[in-house]
Chains A and B, each alone.
Chain A
Amino acid sequence: KQEVTQIPAALSVPEGENLVLNCSFTDSAIYNLQWFRQDPGKGLTSLLLIQSSQREQTSGRLNASLDKSSGRSTLYIAASQPGDSATYLCAVKALSGGGADGLTFGKGTHLIIQP
């Protein structure tokens, strides 16, 4: 059974710092990996999606990398801002038959950016 682990569970940094969130998964047979953002009491917003054949994806100040063979992904946030404060979730989609493609999520990293 696929397991996704995110480290750290919580992180608090001053505004303007660059930071890295880590995600690891136990089964490298994945279709893709996604990073989501979740604000308190809200749904999930997709930030970046990396296909299994890709190494990284970038969107603005966000960069996500994927090393499928080692079962790791990182989310790099440059020049952090207070508005980046949220919980960041990593999720993998497994290669499976029958069309089942639900995501397996980590527990998330709760990020606070101090003004």
Chain B
Amino acid sequence: GNSVTQMEGPVTLSEEAFLTINCTYTATGYPSLFWYVQYPGEGLQLLLKATKADDKGSNKGFEATYRKETTSFHLEKGSVQVSDSAVYFCALCTGGGNKLTFGTGTQLKVEL
């Protein structure tokens, strides 16, 4: 079956630090990959996505590259801000019923 593994949190960084949140997956077929972000008190919202190998998704300074050879989709940002403090979820979909398989989420805390 499908599964997503994310690094444990919380991750605490100083403002302007470099961010990496690791995500690896197991899937049948060729999944689409996603990063969702959940700000405090809100629902999840799509941050970025990639639909095929070697695609790079990017949004709001965040990037992630679909690496088929390592089955990974690590999230990166060159310089984080306090406003990036949130929980980040890696997810995949293999198309069966539009059903997403989510990782457990990684909480990011950015301090001044």
Our verdict on whether A and B bind, yes or no, reads no
